[in-house]
Structure 1
């Protein structure tokens, strides 16, 4: 082999090395990243399909699922109505008081507490007189009323055999300017 042949061989090897390196840097590395992204998307899609298949398997009968969903929706609409009407709730308080042998001294609706949330609340001041166990039953019944309420303040004073109790009750409702989240389920 002559010197010129060695130079051609070395130049050919160098050119082949440069060509291989450029193919690796310009084609393989970018496409490898793209392939990994496609693989990641594929795995994510597979997980979503599996979740949908599991959902479909758990809810074979969509009509039953829709009925349960409608019942839950109605439950929360009762707990958090879209009107500020207190009369029905006050009637329910009076019914619970009568049932639990509570002497209802007064019920006084107070101001509305506005908030930036999609709901607002009313304060209701209640004065009652009852024995200890009737008071506990009444508090339990207040908690079980269909409308969401919280006792903000409770003051109990003992007078003779009865406890005179002042309650500050907060009841919640959706604001009227809030867009409805009603999803039509058919």
Structure 2
């Protein structure tokens, strides 16, 4: 599915990796009106859905797990839908559907859409020789601080990838995605 912003892709990818498929917590920099705009677009496209609960819990900014409360005070969660999973390249068959009383299945590994800068970054870091900040910046037409932010934010914090680095004679500091 095309037309998803990087922020929407990060939100959907993070939700797909959570056992309960909860969209929350959102990335740390996404708050207030911007958060409502992004989530509203995902709701309209039916990539996420509101799931009412029987709990009478208030939205807690510290935990950031409850989207809102209905008129009766019950907590409403946001969960990624099957369409949302498909939008980021994760197929879910009938056998993968969670049981009503049981835990949700472990998320499948996300495959980034080909052709995106994030996919190219991951590809460079998975290459045998890894990549330096300067090599990545040149290949993606980014500033060095943007590369460092993507490594620490999008890849490490949001996608949970392990990034390693080492100094290599003649190249400088080389970064790689660690193999699990």
Answer whether TM exceeds 0.5 for this pair.
Answer: no
- Higher normalized strand content (fraction of residues): 1
- TM-score computed with the length of structure 1 as normaliser: 0.29
Q: Which of structures 1 and 2 has the bigger CA Rg? A: 1
- Higher normalized helix content (fraction of residues): 1
- TM-score computed with the length of structure 2 as normaliser: 0.29
